[in-house]
């Protein structure tokens, strides 16, 4: 058995992804600042016979995240899949002309620094080729910057570039880095962008191991006046 590690376990996509990978036979490690939040989600997963546990870490403190990942690997099982999908803070989203250089510090620290490849020990413990997976989840501003969302547009683009480099650099080590771009809102009633549908896409990125980027839905055409 191996572990699915989830950074940013929200009640929507995060829970759906944890449930999907847990049902596939993985232990689930939940990483956030709130122990109570982790415990609540772990209890919900336990009701479906999924072995889950929370680990306290702050994405703005990469050292705490690295230590928590090591603890998860030692406590549960070696980490086979790491999903990085923390929800950005609301103050990251402001118009570009109202954004100062200092306003970019936290978005970049939030999205880029913790997404750097962690200690690979957790992945190299997994026996057999083609097993380790890094999954990055971003909104449309990762590939199409929006002038009203300067912080996330800048940070997500940097995260995308870093993840793409990991995709190439880690391929010889049989670690697959992939990105899922969700162009619009995550909607429980959406055919392609419901939490359950997106969780299945993420599981497919792990099992198929083909290419770097997948869009949940077609990107709107800016020529149509759609942002």
Confidence of residue 223 (pLDDT cuts 50, 70, 90): very low
Q: pLDDT tens, 141-166?
A: 888 999 998 988 999 999 999 999 99
125 has pLDDT over 60: no
pLDDT at 177: 93
- Which domains, ranges and CATH numbers included, belong to the chain? 3-220 (3.40.50.720)
Per the listing, tokens 């770097």 go with: 212
Average pLDDT over residues 77-100: 87
pLDDT at 224: 45
Q: How many other CB atoms are found less than 10 A from the CB of residue 165?
A: 12
Tell me what percent of the chain is helix, strand and coil, each rounded to the nearest 5: 45, 20, 35
Its pTM stands at 0.89
| pLDDT, averaged across the chain | 86
Confidence of residue 221 (pLDDT cuts 50, 70, 90): low
Confidence of residue 124 (pLDDT cuts 50, 70, 90): low
Query: How is the beta sheet containing 3-7 ordered, strand by strand?
Result: 52-56, 27-32, 3-7, 79-84, 132-139, 175-182, 213-215
């Amino acid at each position: 058995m191996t572990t699915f590690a989830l950074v940013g376990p929200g009640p929507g996509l995060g829970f759906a992804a944890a449930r999907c990978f847990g049902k596939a036979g993985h232990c689930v490690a939940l990483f956030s600042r709130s122990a109570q939040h982790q415990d609540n989600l772990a209890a919900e997963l336990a009701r479906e016979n999924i072995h889950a546990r929370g680990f306290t870490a702050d994405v703005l403190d990469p050292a705490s995240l690295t230590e928590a990942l090591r603890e998860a690997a030692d406590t549960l099982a070696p980490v086979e899949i790491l999903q990085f999908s923390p929800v950005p803070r609301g103050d990251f989203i402001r118009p570009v002309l109202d954004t100062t250089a200092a306003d970019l510090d936290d978005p970049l620290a939030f999205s880029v620094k913790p997404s750097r490849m962690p200690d690979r020990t957790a992945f190299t413990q997994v026996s057999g080729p083609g097993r380790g997976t890094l999954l990055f989840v971003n909104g449309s501003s990762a590939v199409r910057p929006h002038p009203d969302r300067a912080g996330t547009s800048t940070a997500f683009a940097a995260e995308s570039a870093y993840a793409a480099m990991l995709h190439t650099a880690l391929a010889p080590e049989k670690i697959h880095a992939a990105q899922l771009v969700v162009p619009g809102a995550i909607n429980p009633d959406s055919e392609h962008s419901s939490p359950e549908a997106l969780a299945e896409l993420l599981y497919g990125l792990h099992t198929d191991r083909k290419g770097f980027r997948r869009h949940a839905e077609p990107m709107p055409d800016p020529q149509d006046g759609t942002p």
